[in-house]
Amino acid sequence: EQTRHYKFNIQIANVTRLCSTKSILTVNGQFPGPKIVAREGDRVVVRVTNHVDHNVTIHWHGVRQLRSGWADGPAYVTQCPIQTGQSYVYNFTIVGQRGTLFWHAHISWLRATLYGPIIILPKLGVPYPFGKPYKEVPIILGEWWKTDTEAVISQALQTGGAPNVSDAYTINGLPGPLYNCSAQHTFKLKVKPGKVYLLRLINAAVNDELFFSIANHTVTVVEVDAGYVKPFDTEIVLVSPGQTTNLLLRTKPYFPGAMFLMKARPYATGQATFDNTTVAGFVEYQKPYSVSAFDKKLPLHKPTLPAFNDTSFAANFAGKLRTLATVRFPANVPQSVDRRFFFTVGLGTNPCQVNGTCQGPNGTKFAAAVNNVSFAMPTTALLQAHYFGQSRGVYTPDFPVYPLRQFNYTGTPPNNTMVGNGTKLVVLPFNASVELVMQDTSILGTESHPLHLHGYNFFVVGQGSGNFDPAKDPANFNLVDPVERNTIGVPAGGWVAIRFLADNPGVWFMHCHIEAHMSWGLKMAWLVLDGSLPSQKLPPPPSDLPKCG
């Protein structure tokens, strides 16, 4: 076990995409940002220094942060933001995880450009269960706006309408040849025949779930969200914002110069408008790639992707994922439950403050809620408020266990689309075994929501379409080898059931990883109390923890 030190300087860089140049926030001038590489068991120490005129935090998405909640990163949840000219050292140990995760900014929409891979290698001498790949390649899917993304979201929140959709998707920051003036910004993966490549696929897009496929090649899914799964072959992968998927690509005996497109484009179930474009990159056998080869229209193989609203592909794909569950990597699924929760997740509306001028439905403004509570961000960090006994006026511990009003969630929408507001937390005793059913609502139409839980992995014990039936559905829960992950799509017009053991004290954010929905309030937080033993308590905060204001 070793300590890995990194320096992240938040600084401006000018980047040109789609023939227009803009200033973006970067780490160390790089876009996408630098890789964090560590082995399971290593300590990671990242000194983040803010050199820009904007508050910043960094989140280590999917890292469990066992008893290191001060290093988790969501602004106003576990820390106040790092202000201009200040630094904060994120210090955490990787416990019981191996695979691919990613880091991203966790304040406003800064994660649109501030993101990069986290690669967790197995402990020294421990092999991958799927054998040793010839090469490992991160593939980060992202989303690009020609304009400043902070302006995109602040304009949407001011007008009460939906934010402008992006101008392109990207693979490792590059939109690829299907966009205007973008051929020189194309990701190319050069391969040799007859080898195995480990593709570390990350969806860092801001607002879209994405299908991904490589022409003429089947891939094997071996890992999701830094946990091994039972391998299965597929031509198409679905990956939601916040999810990571490791794939084995077995190259074939193709001739040098053979070229195959890899493509990603959205899976969109409810949105009236979304960025309906396609990012492409190349897999090229051996010979160096040249732009002119593509322009000259040499034979190029293209993959086919499902229709943008193919919910049955999504349900099938989700159903194939099973955790590996071997002696070495057991599935510790909670077999009994101490606390049961039923959360509705979905969009709704809030009254328009500036009378009649809001662009949301029927002159209201867009909102989104969990159990009818649209989360109001506090102005000081929740974890600090809890730790120092200063919760008064910051949050209330009364997040509803069930929705306040029941209705047919997937049928006719209710007349009243209004949701309430509040900064409410669920309080859990240490080591409580939790079962949470999340039900998509049809308040403003059914739509898939990738829900991300900080500080935990959970087991996805059940999922289905329509309304969850508490009398029938639990009998079919998988308590043997359910997939273990940190982000799960609540299916459009359906439900998902997860279980986790609350063994990590702290305040843990849970939210839709579609940034537009998160901005509208589709978020809440769990407060997990300390246990009685010293090893069950959250240590005091580091002395450089940023202060608010």
Q: Which residues are at the interface with ligand C2O (CB under 6 A)?
A: 59, 61, 74, 104, 106, 242, 452, 454, 509, 511, 513
Between CA 153 and CA 380, with CA 346 as vertex, the angle to 5 degrees is 55
Distance separating alpha carbons of residues 96 and 499, to the nearest angstrom: 18
| Shorter beta-carbon distance to ligand C2O: residue 107 or 214 | 107
| Shorter beta-carbon distance to ligand C2O: residue 50 or 203 | 203
Least spacing, CB of residue 521 vs ligand C2O, in Å: 14
Least spacing, CB of residue 112 vs ligand C2O, in Å: 13
Least spacing, CB of residue 209 vs ligand C2O, in Å: 14
Distance separating alpha carbons of residues 29 and 12, to the nearest angstrom: 7
Q: Which helix (H) or strand (E) holds 90?
A: strand 87-93
| Shorter beta-carbon distance to ligand C2O: residue 98 or 452 | 452
Hey, what's the torsion of the CAs at 508, 441, 495, 207, to 10 degrees?
-60
Q: Residue 72 region, left (φ>0) first, then alpha (ψ -120 to 50), else beta? A: alpha
Least spacing, CB of residue 511 vs ligand C2O, in Å: 6
Q: Work out the number of other CB atoms within 10 angstroms of the CB of residue 356.
A: 6
Least spacing, CB of residue 485 vs ligand C2O, in Å: 13
**Residue for token pair 């891979």:** 117
Yes or no: say if 40 and 99 are a contact pair by the CB < 8 Å rule: no
Least spacing, CB of residue 381 vs ligand C2O, in Å: 14
CA distance to 142, 170, 198, 487, 527, per residue, from 113 (Å): 8, 11, 25, 20, 30
Least spacing, CB of residue 103 vs ligand C2O, in Å: 9
Distance separating alpha carbons of residues 417 and 419, to the nearest angstrom: 7
Yes or no: say if 536 and 505 are a contact pair by the CB < 8 Å rule: yes
Q: In the beta sheet, which residues pair with residue 323? A: 229
Between β-strands 3-17 and 487-490, what pairing exists: parallel, antiparallel or unpaired? unpaired
What tokens were used for 510? 């849970």
Least spacing, CB of residue 426 vs ligand C2O, in Å: 16
| Shorter beta-carbon distance to ligand C2O: residue 261 or 512 | 512
Distance separating alpha carbons of residues 346 and 371, to the nearest angstrom: 9
Least spacing, CB of residue 518 vs ligand C2O, in Å: 8
Q: Work out the number of other CB atoms within 10 angstroms of the CB of residue 153.
A: 19
Q: What are phi and psi of 476, to 5 degrees?
A: -100, 10
| Shorter beta-carbon distance to ligand C2O: residue 205 or 262 | 205
Q: What is the DSSP string of 203-272?
A: E--SS-EEEEEETT--EEEEEETTEEEEEEEESEEEE-TT-EEEEEEE--SPPTT-EEEEEEEEE-SS-S
| Shorter beta-carbon distance to ligand C2O: residue 17 or 106 | 106
| Shorter beta-carbon distance to ligand C2O: residue 71 or 259 | 71
Between CA 460 and CA 469, with CA 465 as vertex, the angle to 5 degrees is 80
**Residue for token pair 């999810």:** 243
Least spacing, CB of residue 74 vs ligand C2O, in Å: 5
Least spacing, CB of residue 205 vs ligand C2O, in Å: 11
| Shorter beta-carbon distance to ligand C2O: residue 214 or 502 | 502
| Shorter beta-carbon distance to ligand C2O: residue 188 or 511 | 511
Residue number of the CB closest to ligand C2O reads: 61
| Shorter beta-carbon distance to ligand C2O: residue 153 or 249 | 153
Yes or no: say if 481 and 230 are a contact pair by the CB < 8 Å rule: yes
Task: Give every strand in the sheet of 506-512, ordered side by side.
Answer: 425-428, 523-528, 506-512, 449-453, 487-490
Q: Work out the number of other CB atoms within 10 angstroms of the CB of residue 521.
A: 26
| Shorter beta-carbon distance to ligand C2O: residue 74 or 133 | 74
Least spacing, CB of residue 525 vs ligand C2O, in Å: 10
| Shorter beta-carbon distance to ligand C2O: residue 243 or 269 | 243
